[in-house]
């Protein structure tokens, strides 16, 4: 197993007045290439901090994060990060938002336009190219964010509760879309969620984090793909896994 992302006794604390608030303590984890790992944990267990560190947005207090053996010191274009909240530029329409990463890379305009059109189609937003983010529904904004992340062809995707704020039906749709976009792409995915079902439905491997990012459980799920949510819910194997995860989450909260 070759780990593409490696977290080595990673700690992070934030300074507030005269105290350091510990968000993550001594987390060690390896993430293998082309896998779909879901990280499950309650709110405040350091999941988002972990992703911010993996993305290179913030420096660790101690420990290291390496990507293909190189330490991550700043954001890298090979790693795409979809944050919990929308960070679309409100003054750019859909097409120009999707073009933005290419603009920064210096891709010439005709090529940008072409690529953006491709991505718009892939996330199913044809006809909305000239709309501004505020004119779109929450689900559509997520699709735009997803398209913007994918336009840079990242090898690794970090997703932070990307569908948390959406209604159940829309979440199911977008989960399916994400799997469809990922399958066969060879991309590595780290998907953070607090929803057990989502974690099991999407991931090949589930890592349960307890307080301060302590790894409570780390296992492969071996649920065959393609997975159908309705059938999976009644599958005895799934029910057993669900129970195991619930217990792990409870244990993580205790200590």
Partner 1 sequence: MSSAPPDTAAPAAETVPIERTWWDRRGGTVTVALTRLALVAVLLSVWEWSAERWFDITFTSRPSAIWARLLEWHRDGVLWANTWVTLEEIVLGFVLGSAAGALAGFLLASAPRVYRVLDPFIMALYSIPKVALAPLFIVWFGIGTNMKVLLAAATVFFLVFLNTAAGVREVDRGLIDAVRLMGGTKRDIAMKVILPSSMTGMLTGLKVAVPYALIGAVIGELVASNRGLGYLINDAAANFDTAGVFATLVVLSVIAALLNLVVGLFDRWVGRWKPLEART
Shortest Cβ 96–partner 1 spacing (Å): 10
Of 111 and 180, CB closest to partner 1: 180
| Among 186, 105, 210, CA closest to 148 | 105
Residue from 3, 22, 165, 176 touching partner 1 (CB under 8 A): that is 176
Of 77 and 237, CB closest to partner 1: 77
The Cα-based distances of 250 to 27, 228, 253 in angstroms read: 19, 27, 5
Q: At what angle do helices 138-150 and 94-105 cross, to 10 degrees?
A: 20
Phi, psi of 254 (to 5 degrees): -70, -50
Shortest Cβ 176–partner 1 spacing (Å): 5
| Among 44, 11, 45, CA closest to 27 | 11
CB 248 within 8 A of CB 216: yes
By the rule CB under 8 A, 225 interacts with partner 1: yes
By the rule CB under 8 A, 124 interacts with partner 1: yes
User: Interface mask (CB under 8 A) for partner 1, residues 95-114, using x and -?
Assistant: -----xx-xxx---------
One-letter-per-residue 3-state SS of 106-119: CCCHHHHHHHHHHH
User: Interface mask (CB under 8 A) for partner 1, residues 198-217, using x and -?
Assistant: ---x----------------
Three-state secondary-structure class, residue 235:
coil
Residue from 44, 59, 90, 138 touching partner 1 (CB under 8 A): that is 90
Of 40 and 178, CB closest to partner 1: 178
Cα separation, 200 vs 252, whole angstroms: 18
Cα separation, 20 vs 13, whole angstroms: 6
User: Interface mask (CB under 8 A) for partner 1, residues 62-81, using x and -?
Assistant: ------------xxxx--xx
Of 44 and 138, CB closest to partner 1: 138
Residue count (the chain): 255
User: Interface mask (CB under 8 A) for partner 1, residues 23-62, using x and -?
Assistant: --------------------------------x-x-----
Residue from 35, 63, 152, 164 touching partner 1 (CB under 8 A): that is 152
Number of H helices, E strands in the chain: 8, 10
| Among 254, 211, 213, CA closest to 65 | 213
Chain contacts with partner 1 (rule: CB under 8 A): 55, 57, 74-77, 80-81, 83, 85, 87, 89-93, 100-101, 103-105, 123-128, 132, 134, 139-140, 143, 152, 173, 175-177, 179-180, 201, 225-229
């Amino acid at each position: 197993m070759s780990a593409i992302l490696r977290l080595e006794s990673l700690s992070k604390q934030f300074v507030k007045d005269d105290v350091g608030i510990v968000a993550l303590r001594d987390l060690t984890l390896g993430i293998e290439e082309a896998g779909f790992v879901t990280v499950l944990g309650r709110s405040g267990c350091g999941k988002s901090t972990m992703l911010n560190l993996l993305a290179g947005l913030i420096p660790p207090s101690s420990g290291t994060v390496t990507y293909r053996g190189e330490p991550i010191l700043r954001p890298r274009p090979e790693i795409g990060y979809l944050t919990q909240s929308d960070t679309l530029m409100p003054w750019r329409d859909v097409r120009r938002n999707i073009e933005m990463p290419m603009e920064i890379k210096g891709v010439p305009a005709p090529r940008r336009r072409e690529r953006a059109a491709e991505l718009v189609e892939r996330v199913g937003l044809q006809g909305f190219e000239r709309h501004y983010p505020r004119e779109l529904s929450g689900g559509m904004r997520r699709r735009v964010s997803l398209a913007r992340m994918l336009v840079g062809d990242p090898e690794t995707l970090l997703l932070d509760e990307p569908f948390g704020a959406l209604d159940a039906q829309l979440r199911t749709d977008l989960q399916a879309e994400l799997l469809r976009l990922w399958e066969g792409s060879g991309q590595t995915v780290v998907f953070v969620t607090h929803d057990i079902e989502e974690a099991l439905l999407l991931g090949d491997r589930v890592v349960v984090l307890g307080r301060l990012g302590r790894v409570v459980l780390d296992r492969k799920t071996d649920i065959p793909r393609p997975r159908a949510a309705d059938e999976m819910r009644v599958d005895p194997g799934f029910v057993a896994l669900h129970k195991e995860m619930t217990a792990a989450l409870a244990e993580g909260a205790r200590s």
